[in-house]
Amino acid sequence: MTVRRATIAAGVLGLLCVAALTVDYVVMRTWTAASDARTAAMQVRVQSDASLAPALAAEQKTIAEFGRARRTRINWLSLVLVGAAAGFLSGAKRMIGERPPVAPKKPTAALKRGGRPLTTTAAAPGIDLAFVDEVVAREGRGPEAAIPILQAIQAHYRYLPDEALRRVCELTEITPAQISGTSSFYSRFRRSPVGEHIVRVCHGTACHVAGARQITDELRRELKIPEGGDTDPSRTFTIEEVACLGCCSLAPVVMVDEHTAGNLTPATACDALGERA
């Protein structure tokens, strides 16, 4: 008999014992109530008719014999129940221990770019994931550490590499959905590599009125930045549109890294890139 069959048989036997004990209890309660009523009635009658005494003694003897038989029956049922329970628990433990170990799932991430799932965990050239391990060890592994970890990764790599984000999900309790939501909600987080130089074009009210849109379009045309992108093919410049640079009197204003140029026109805007190209 296999362990599985023996375990099932022990479980069924235990259930039968429990059922038998339950039925015995119900029957005993019913029979005891009836016998007590008969005995009480006979005791009253014996007081006026002594000839009924033998019948009362016989009734009391029957009750005593029934009680002894019931105690014996309950003892045997209890022993069988204990044995069945022990066999069931032992077999169940063995069955659980014989289950083959579940192979760990390969880590995947639900992060997407352009609708394509990112399923590989291999690091791209130049991505040192050891830094991610250091950040996680420093900031913690709980969901509340998501923003500090992302900020540290952004400062180190200058954007949020997919490989680094997958590593974060592997090491922490932070989910891919939480990373995706956080990185898309805060505009300062970037999901694509930036150029060597950051070109910030002010689009505040003063700069917008003075022609910030035309300057942005001219810079994108000059740098041959593709539609929908913000970095030139050589990854030399990345253009960012910002709300304000605090130089309204110089509108329109462009800041290349830490260098600020103002009073620009579309024709002179590209000159601000000359020293950095």
Q: How far is CA 116 from CA 109, 110, 111, 121, 175, in A?
A: 11, 10, 9, 15, 18
pLDDT band at 253 (very low <50, low <70, confident <90, very high): very high
Query: Hunting for tokens 């970037």 — which residue is that?
Result: 190
**Per-residue model confidence (pLDDT) at position 13:** 83
Q: Are 244 and 202 in contact (CB under 8 A)?
A: yes
The pLDDT value given to residue 174: 92
- Give the bridge partners for 200, in sequence order: 240, 255
Distances (CA, A) of 133 to 160, 165, 260: 15, 11, 37
Write out the CATH class of domain 197-274.
alpha beta
Q: What pLDDT is stored for residue 49 in this prediction?
A: 75
Cβ distance 158 to 171 under 8 Å? no
pLDDT tens digit sequence for 50-91:
777 788 778 778 877 877 887 888 888 888 878 878 777 777
Tell me the C-alpha distance between 83 and 69, whole Å: 21
Give the integer Cα–Cα distance in Å for 276 and 160: 24
Dihedral Cα 150, 151, 156, 161, nearest 10 deg: 30
**pLDDT score, position 254:** 92
Cα angle at 156 between 171 and 174, to 5 degrees? Answer: 25
Pairing state between β 254-256 and 112-113: unpaired
pLDDT of residue 126: 59
In this structure, which amino acid lies at residue 99? R
Kindly state the helix (H) or strand (E) to which residue 241 belongs, with its residue range.
strand 237-242
Residue pLDDT, tens place only, 171-221 = 999 999 999 888 888 877 888 888 888 898 999 999 999 999 999 999 999
With residue 167 as reference, give the H or E element that holds it. Answer: helix 162-171
Measured distance between the N- and C-terminal CA atoms of the chain, rounded to whole angstroms: 82
Question: Would you state the pLDDT for residue 99?
Answer: 53
Across 27-41, 65-79, 90-104, 133-147, which has the greatest mean pLDDT? 133-147
Say what the pLDDT of residue 133 is: 92
Q: What pLDDT score was predicted for residue 277? A: 55
Residue 154 has pLDDT above 90, yes or no: no
Q: Taking a C-beta distance cutoff of 8 angstroms, is the pair 98, 3 a contact?
A: yes
